[in-house]
Amino acid sequence: MSNIVLKLQGLDCAHCAEKLQNKIEAINNIDSVAVNFFNSEMNINYNEITENNLIKQVKEVSKSLGVDILVNSHEEKNSMKLYTNLDESSKFKLMKYAVGLIIFGIATIGDFDYSITFILYMMSYVIFGTGTILKAVKSISRGDFFNENFLLSTASLGAIYIGMFSEAVAVMIFFQVGEFFHDIAVNNARKSIKDLMNLKAEYANLVQEGEIKKVDPETVRIGDIIIVKAGEKVPLDGIVIEGISQIDASALIGESVPRKVQIKDEIMSGVINLTGIIKVQVSTEYSDSTVSKIMNMVENASAKKATTERFITQFSKIYTPIVISIALILMFIAPIFFPEIASSEWIYRGLVFLLVACPCALHLSVPLSFFSGIGSSSKNGVLIKGSNYLQALSEASIVVFDKTGTLTKGVFTVTEIKPTKNEITENKLLEIAGIIENLSNHPIAKSIVNECEKKHINIEGFTLEDFEELQGKGIRATLNGKEILLGNDKLMDLENVMYEKYNGMGTVIHLAEKREHLGFIVISDIIKEDTATAIQNLKQQNIKKIVMLSGDRKESAEAVAKNLGIDEVHAELLPNEKVEMVENLYTGHPNQKIIFVGDGINDAPVLSRVDVGVAMGGIGSDAALEAGDMVIMTDEISKLSTVIDISRKTMSIVKQNIFLVLAVKFLVLALAILGITNMWLAILTDTGITLVAVLNSIRSKY
């Protein structure tokens, strides 16, 4: 399967984006399509068709909907004007509309004979209404009658037919005013995306044969050396091999405090080097870099729609044909049953009904609200992969935490070494454990290796035979011809080793040689500074149950849970057993939404099972970026409460907009049927409610 991303120009609204997506999906050999309205992009997965043939077909379909496909960098560069300020055509449009308003004003207040007044109104109508009518004609030619261009064109032309020239022009004027504010809101949303897309560095200073060359970051390979000067963005992930500097990671994690980097430190793409010059050895290619993954996540976030967004689309498919049918009944059938009312009055009522019925306020405000919420989360260092997850987050009532690396720092230190065999000293016990754990990257293993380094115990140069990792239990290996067991109580029980039970806090690692217990080492983790506050905040947010799952010892896990005020704890779990525990929660709490928060390293099965999987892997964690539906780019668990607040505020605004728009429209629709309202009120209602909904949507920013 192949993939292509195409830039779009002329995409007017989120509803238009959905229409385009449906049309493109109908093309043969296209597997999936995601049209991103706010990003003006189309992501297509396809097979058994050449790229050129695909683009040709997509262009034909898009053109029929008034959307242009940009296929080269020059076209894309020109299209970016849309994201920043008004381009030349927009300035011309404003000048044209100013002339139209002057002509409309002269026609309205001037005392002219009928023919001159008619000509002035028609001149103004042509200026404001030509574009809308042309779009309506194109949609009719495609068999699409159910859109705002058709509704407004029909209503305004009908007003001209019955001699209401000022109302006909006003329909188009206020529609263009609404479109103007629509464009401002969309451009602001697009600009926020563009700001985030600026994470990407334009170039990399590549060191080659003693010279520094400016190259495209995408051409740099793993192992290459790059120079990052003060004030430059770091183009690729890597390891600092020379220099000391301060970096600004606020664009990635929402934290404005600079961070120090020095030799051997990892540095992520997208951060800004503030002070010194640093030399970096590249560790990932651009396509796998942190900044590339973040950009992909943000770009594709609007493709995963919330149930509310899908409801609006389905609602419109039913709503629009119904209101058009009612308008036609008012204009052509009602006069038969109510002859005492003039036919022209029924036509007028039907035209007013059409004006009020336009559903564009919902099509604009609902996706804009979700997009604003996702943007606010990004600014707070939390990336959400779709509005569906934002909605699920607002509805969640149960939060499940992994312990190590999530509630705790995942930074283990050796707190106790206790030999149980007379001839074994503390250092000897530590040496054996260090030699075996030296092959592992697990945090507990690293803590033992670090302790060996602190005590200058040599663990290098030893050969291990028959090395075997036993999932959830420990390691079996042969050292100097002797079988060594290193692991937890489960391993000792499995191998029938007699050992001394440890009942204190921390993780205990036993060692045994030839089934004889040598002693144990206790490793303790540290609870994060903001964990207790985060748990308290969740309870204040009316989260019904907080659960902790851990692979750690029961005693240690229960001590942490008690300290933090967690409602329920399950310990000594293997990864598959964590999934079972989550399944039990769903069984015991049907119809409840569950959030799982894990470190993104070994929690992928659980993260993918729950309604919202939150990865706490920290900045640059590949596992976190891949596994979570939502990624907290710092290790601050308190960010979860922040984003829950954002999600609830967003959903509140979405519901307000839906209720407000439908309530006002249905009220005025009823008045239109009864003949109590007029076209001016219909125009103001449609434009006004759209502006109110748009402005309300922007409040999603946190």
Mean pLDDT score, 562-570 = 92
Q: What is the per-residue pLDDT across 124-164, written as a single tens digit (0 to 9) for each? A: 999 999 888 888 887 777 776 667 778 788 888 988 988 88
Mean pLDDT score, 432-452 = 88
Q: Is the pLDDT of residue 302 over 70?
A: no
Q: What's the chain's average pLDDT?
A: 84
Return the pLDDT at 380: 82
Give the C-alpha distances (Å, rounded to integers) separating 551 from 76, 473, 566, 578, 623: 50, 10, 16, 9, 19
Return the pLDDT at 35: 81
Banded pLDDT at 456 (limits 50, 70, 90): very high
Q: What is the DSSP string of 592-660?
A: -EEEEEE-SSS-HHHHHHSSEEEE---TT-HHHHHH-SEEESSS-TTHHHHHHHHHHHHHHHHHHHHHH
Q: What is the CATH number of domain 204-293?
A: 2.70.150.10
Give the C-alpha distances (Å, rounded to integers) separating 305 from 301, 364, 367: 8, 14, 9
Return the pLDDT at 77: 43
- The ranges of the chain annotated as CATH 3.40.1110.10 are 413-524
Banded pLDDT at 601 (limits 50, 70, 90): low
Banded pLDDT at 600 (limits 50, 70, 90): low
Q: What is the per-residue pLDDT across 49-99, written as a single tens digit (0 to 9) for each? A: 888 888 888 888 888 777 888 765 444 444 444 344 444 556 777 888 899
Beta bridge partners of 614: 597, 630
Return the pLDDT at 189: 57
Return the pLDDT at 683: 80
Return the pLDDT at 83: 40
- The ranges of the chain annotated as CATH 3.30.70.100 are 2-83
CATH number of 413-524: 3.40.1110.10, 2.40.128.120, 3.40.250.10, 1.10.260.40?
Answer: 3.40.1110.10
Banded pLDDT at 228 (limits 50, 70, 90): very high
Token readout for 224 is 């290459």
- The ranges of the chain annotated as CATH 3.40.50.1000 are 370-408+528-647
Q: Is the pLDDT of residue 679 over 90?
A: no
Instruction: Provide the CATH topology of domain 2-83.
Output: Alpha-Beta Plaits (3.30.70)
- The ranges of the chain annotated as CATH 2.70.150.10 are 204-293
Q: How many CB atoms lie within 10 A of CB 238?
A: 27
Q: Is the pLDDT of residue 196 over 60?
A: no
Instruction: Provide the CATH topology of domain 370-408+528-647.
Output: Rossmann fold (3.40.50)
402 labelled catalytic: yes
Q: How many CB atoms lie within 10 A of CB 58?
A: 24
Q: Which residue has the higher pLDDT, 76 or 632?
A: 632
Task: Give the pairing type, strands 278-282 and 238-242.
Answer: antiparallel
Q: What is the per-residue pLDDT across 366-399, written as a single tens digit (0 to 9) for each? A: 888 888 888 788 778 788 888 889 999 999 999 9
Q: Which of 67-81, 98-112, 235-249 has the lowest mean pLDDT?
A: 67-81
Q: Which of 12, 224, 402, 635 is catalytic?
A: 402
